[in-house]
Amino acid sequence: ASRGVQALKAYDPGHDLVALRRRFGAAQLVELGSNENPYGPSPVARAAVLDRLHELHRYPDPLGADLKRALARVHGVREDELLLGNGSHELLMMIAQVFAGPGAEVVYPRHGFAVFALAAQAAGATSRVADALPRTDAMPAGHDLEALLAAITPATTLLYLANPNNPTGTWLGAEALRAFLARVPDHVIVVFDEAYAEMADAPDYRSGLALRDAHPNLVISRTFSKAYGLAGLRVGYFVAPAGLMAVMERVRESFNVNLLALAACEAALGDAEHLAWVRARNAEERTALGEALRARGLRVFPSQTNFVLVEFGERTSAVERALVERGVILRPMGGYGLGDCLRITVGTRDENRRLLAALDEVLA
Ligand code: PMP
């Protein structure tokens, strides 16, 4: 293996969920570790999957033309500005393979999504990690845009930034991002990972889709895994300048998005009502969960996602282990340099209630 690959650690999903589901029973387990959508997809997406079951012996459309057409309509972009992936994870890896490599530098923030580091290392590129803003009493250990700019060199080919961010849940406002993009040299490909964009409702939040005029090489990454509730089908996509997408198309595996996934996502895009409902439910539960945790004396990062990052201090791993024993799965953050925090997916009202009840036992 290459030196970059030899130095890699495999992606850590946090827990052996298969074993835990067997132990507690899937219905008893409160799974709040992976930022999934607890409500599931639109019923029309489910129906579209069932509709295609008679076609399983056929290859899917290698171009994903119908889904691309639907996405182009939803976002007001051209179809040649879209690239479909087997989850956005695949595309985040692929872009480093194509545009970074030995000799190239990849910039991303500390406390950024784990796949950025993996992608850079697997490609054999050099990582330049920009420090985050310090955590204060007011909290935000948010991205430091000045530090990101300072990390860019003539060898930088790629810069990753998630907005809103996983694992902190924090976000950057549109004005700051526009000014930032104007200062990033044109040769750098800027990837805005917007896996949680549909969950954001802060007045100053804007998708990078509204900032595409601010940089010639801006790539927006989206996913059907979160707000659309289709994590199990694995579909993500990029919106970017056609020239960049044409180069990536050359290395994309022809059938990377499967038949059922293409059908489900196209149908899901047609159900704006379900998406709006998920968004509203999530916002309501996010506020309630944040308040309940703060009422227990815990520090909660402000979030524009479907999870909250919570500071537990020295008790963190003891709390996490005790919750697992009660069938409540949260995500430990040691791998992100946030070992005194746990990341909690916003569940249904009932799941959040069960989490809080277990937490009260553990903290008592
Ligand atoms: N980006 C971010 C910030 C994420 O949190 C996730 C999922 N945890 C992904 C990308 C990957 O999502 P998927 O591969 O399911 O599209």
* Nearest CA-CA partner of 140 in 319, 333, 311: 311
pLDDT tens track, the chain, 364 positions: 777 777 777 766 668 888 888 988 888 899 999 999 999 999 999 999 999 999 999 999 999 999 999 999 999 999 999 999 999 999 999 999 999 999 999 999 999 999 999 999 999 999 999 988 888 766 666 788 999 999 999 999 999 999 999 999 999 999 999 999 999 999 999 999 999 999 999 999 999 999 999 999 999 999 999 999 999 999 999 999 999 999 999 999 999 999 999 999 999 999 999 999 999 999 999 999 999 999 999 999 999 999 999 999 999 999 999 999 999 999 999 888 899 999 999 999 999 999 999 999 999 8
Whether residue 329 sits in one domain with residue 194 = no
Judge contact between 110 and 129, C-beta under 8 A: yes
For 152-189, the pLDDT digits (tens) are 999 999 999 999 999 999 999 999 999 999 999 999 99
Distance 165 CA to ligand 1 centre (A): 10
From 269, 298, 322, give the residue that closes a domain. Answer: 269
Q: What is the CATH number of the domain that holds 218?
A: 3.40.640.10
Distance 89 CA to ligand 1 centre (A): 6
Distance 360 CA to ligand 1 centre (A): 30
What per-residue confidence (pLDDT) applies to 138?
66
d(C-alpha 30, C-alpha 15), whole Å:
13
Nearest Cα residue to atom 4 of ligand 1: 195
State whether residue 87 is helix, strand or coil.
coil
Ligand 1 is surrounded, with C-beta below 6 A, by 35, 87-89, 113, 162, 166, 193, 195, 223, 225, 231, 236
Structural domain boundaries enclosing 23: 3-31+273-363
Nearest Cα residue to atom 5 of ligand 1: 166
d(C-alpha 338, C-alpha 119), whole Å:
21
Judge contact between 169 and 341, C-beta under 8 A: no
Whether residue 247 sits in one domain with residue 290 = no
Distance 309 CA to ligand 1 centre (A): 16
Would you state the structure tokens that stand for residue 143, as one six-digit string?
């991205």
State whether residue 157 is helix, strand or coil.
strand
What per-residue confidence (pLDDT) applies to 227?
97
Q: What is the CATH number of the domain that holds 280?
A: 3.90.1150.10
* Domain count along the chain: 2
Query: Predicted ipTM?
Result: 0.99
pTM, rounded to two decimals = 0.95
From 227, 253, 269, give the residue that closes a domain. Answer: 269
**Is position 36 within any domain?**
no
Using CB atoms within 10 Å of the CB of residue 147, give its burial: 0 to 12 exposed, 13 to 18 middle, 19+ buried.
middle
Atom of ligand 1 nearest to the CA of 167: 5
HEC assignment per residue over 160-215: EEECCCCCCCCCCCHHHHHHHHHHCCCCCEEEEECCCHHHCCCCCCCCHHHHHHHC
d(C-alpha 38, C-alpha 94), whole Å:
29
